[in-house]
Structure 1
Amino acid sequence: MRDLAAGFGYLLQGQRWVATHRRRFGYALVPGLIALVLYVVAIVALAWFVGDVVAWATPFADHWASPWPDVLRGFLDVLLLVLCLFLAVTTFTALTLALGQPFYEALAEHVDRSQSPDEVPGPGLSTWRSIKDGIALVLRALAWAVVLFAAGFLPVVGQTVVPVVGIGVTGFFLVQELTTVAMQRRGVTLRDQLKLLRSRRMLVWGFGIPLAAAFLVPFVAIVLMPGAVAGATLLTREVRGEPISSGN
């Protein structure tokens, strides 16, 4: 429970840090706004055509007695939309970080500098390794999405266990994506990032789950993104045992 509270505390500290430096880092809102527009267009298009997609994918149900075709397709409509929302939340951060990499790297550097002016990490991983790790992270999120989608068909489990697991997975992926900025500046590869974060799962969930819930509200995601990067930098310092100043 202590780590859960600490994780949430870092989320709040990150927002507070950016609020006190808002003039300097206001531009960090731009990548999130661009990503939001892209996702809104995609989700609206999906919502418009989801019925046609599900009907095309389930021709076998055409011969079922009423009302079972509508029941099945209605369930699949909802499941597909939920899956896409899961993907949107877990990949929104990755896309935003990719679009605003220079902005967020500068932000993370200033957070580190405010904590330990004489020991600022850098330059970190090579560009190619960063891209490779980013692609691997997105593929992991897609793999989890497929597994959760398939598990959603299981009776009882699909309606109880799967949503809970989905929340935990989403929160973990958000933190992993957000800490990537600070981790890569320290030369930490994706595999080692996973080891560090798994060793402090409760800390990660305390940060990631509330943020995942907030990111479901589109405009809130844009506003919180810079502070999330700042908080993730502080969380990175925590899991790596680096000093954290409570006064900044």
Structure 2
Amino acid sequence: MSDLGAGIGYVVKGQRWVLGHGKWLGLGLLPGLITLVVYAGALVGLGYGADDFVAWVTPFADDWSSPWLGLLRDTLTALVFLFGLFLAVITFTAVTLLVGQPFYESLSEEVDRTEGGDVPESGLPFWRDLWISARDSVRILVRVALYGVLLFAAGFLPVVGQTAVPVIGFCVSGYFLCEELTAVALQRRGMVLKDRLVLLRGRRLMVLGFGVPLALAFLVPFVAVFLMPGAVAGATLLARDLTAPPPQPAPEPASPYTLRKDRGGPA
């Protein structure tokens, strides 16, 4: 459980770092605000159109009597909106990172610089970095969509669909949200998507501790915008921990027997 607490700690450390470097907080709001406006419009449209969509895909229920018709379609409408919200939480980070790619890379480099040690650089042209980020984001979103479909179907199960499925959904959201955020720092370290996923699987509790609180916070639109710069900073700190070389064991002190033998004493 210490990894879980450490993951939550990186959320706090990232926000604290940005608050201590106000310039980065101010500049980091613009990409999130642009993305927020687009997503808010999409979710409003989904809210107005979800019931019509559900009615279109369930023509077999047109002749059902009350309350079964309303119960079926109201439940499906809620699930469609929740599925859209689930995808929005994940894709918001990916789209915001793409919109603010140059800024967030600079922010991540500054975190590395202030924390000491090397400041890795990918050495690739900007457009190449942008293409790799976009390609990897699509691959992650495909995985998320598959999980989303499975969870959507599981939502129809009695009891489990209303209790365990939402919890699993937030864990999935948090896990892949952490992948998107740490990709900024890990890609600079030359790690491809496959290697990044292997690295994160090795510290699942830490990843969930970092990603799930952010996934919950990102449900509030304006909170997501204000937390985004700190989330990138915290993800960079987390990436530094995940890629740090293991500590070397201290050498064992030589025994008096060895010392006597080295000095030519009696064995």
TM tier, shorter chain? over 0.9
1:218 aligns with 2:221: yes
Indicate whether 1:94 and 2:94 are aligned: yes
The residue aligned with 1:176 is 179
Letter in 2 for 1:201: R
Residue in 1 aligned with 2:235?
Answer: 232
1:122 to 2:121 alignment:
yes
CA distance in 2, matches of 1:193, 1:68: 47
Greater than 4 Å deviation, 4+ residue runs: none
Whether contact under 8 Å (1:25, 1:107) holds in the other structure is no
**Long gaps (5+) in structure 1:** 244-248
Q: Which residue is 1:132 aligned to?
A: 135
Equivalent residue for 1:17?
17
Amino acid corresponding to residue 96 of structure 1 in structure 2: T
Cα separation, 2, equivalents of 1:24 and 1:230: 10
Deviation at 1:226, TM superposition (A): 0.1
The residue aligned with 1:49 is 49
The amino acid of 1:4's aligned partner reads L
Whole-Å Cα distance in 2 between the matches of residues 138 and 149 of structure 1?
A: 16
Alignment of 1:142-153 (within 5 A): 142-153=145-156
2:120 partner SS: coil
Aligned length: 242
- Equivalent pair of 1:93/1:174 in contact (CA under 8 Å): yes
Task: Tell me if structure 2 keeps the 8 A contact 1:124–1:186.
Answer: no
What's the CA shift for 1:157?
2.0
Distance 1:124 1:90 in 2: 28
How much identity, in percent, do the aligned residues show? 58
Q: Which has the larger radius of gyration?
A: 2
Distance 1:124 1:239, change over 3 A: farther
Question: 1:193 corresponds to which letter in structure 2?
Answer: R
Measured in 1, the distance between the counterparts of 2:219 and 2:134 equals 26
Q: 1-side partners of 2:133 and 2:221: how far apart?
A: 27
Aligned residue identity for 1:132: R
Letter in 2 for 1:123: S
CA-CA distance at 1:25 after TM superposition: 4.3
Partner of 2:68: 68
Alignment of 1:98-117 (within 5 A): 98-117=98-117
Cα deviation digits, residues 6-65 of structure 1 (max 9, x gap): 111111111011111112441111000001101110011111111111111100001222
CA distance in 2, matches of 1:198, 1:183: 14
Change (3 A) 1:242 1:233: farther
SS at structure 1 position matched to 2:62: helix
CA distance, structure 2, for counterparts of residue 107 and residue 25 of structure 1? 10
* Higher mean C-alpha deviation, range 201-210 or range 101-110: 201-210
Secondary structure, counterpart of 1:146 in structure 2: helix
1:163-198 deviations in whole A, cap 9, x for unaligned? Answer: 111011011011011001001111111111111111
TM-aligned CA distance change 1:28 to 1:5, over 3 Å: same
Q: Greater CA deviation, 90-99 or 140-149?
A: 140-149
